[in-house]
Copies of this chain bind each other. A is one copy, B any other.
Amino acid sequence: MPTLLSYTLVITGAPWSSQAPQTALTFARALIDAGHRLDRLFLYGEGVHLASALSAPPSDEPHWPQEWSAFLTEHRIAGVACIASALRRGLVDEREQARYELSAHNLRAPFQIAGLGEWVDGTLTSDRVMYFHGSA
């Protein structure tokens, strides 16, 4: 029986411009099935679009934000969007909405907004850190 490990996954590729969110999700399911632990999903750069609450793809297309959200909720895993990447790209929670006096908030639960310290923590404490980039 193998040693059980902890993982941090980092997604930098956006849904609909890359396969990264889908590859990462299938990998995440497989690592949980193998008994390992997913410490955290960290969204960076274009990857923050995965946390949009307003994505509404056609019903016969995959809905990556919804699928990731359900997976994180089911397994009580933290999903963190980098605050700097998210603010540039228009992904905000209620707190940032208030701070920047914006018209709405659009962060999908259970995603949270936090700084790069969360990623640094992953590199220090998880056994494995894996990156899922765009392919263009």
Contacts and interface: CB of A to CB of B under 8 A. Distances in A.
B53 A103 contact: yes
A17 B134 CA distance: 11
Contacts of A84: 58
Interface stretch (A3-11, A33-41, A85-93, A116-124): A85-93
A26 to B, nearest CB: 20
Interface string A91-131: 11000110010111110000000000000000000000000
How many copies of this chain does the complex contain?
A: 2
29 contacts: A14-B17, A14-B46, A16-B88, A17-B45, A17-B46, A49-B90, A52-B90, A53-B90, A53-B103, A54-B90, A54-B91, A54-B106, A55-B87, A55-B88, A55-B90, A56-B87, A56-B90, A56-B92, A56-B96, A56-B100, A56-B102, A57-B87, A61-B88, A65-B90, A90-B106, A103-B106, A104-B106, A106-B106, A134-B136
Contacts of A103: 53-54, 106
B57 A88 contact: yes
Nearest to A109: B103
Most chain B CB neighbours (cut-off 10 Å) among A55, A61, A65: A55
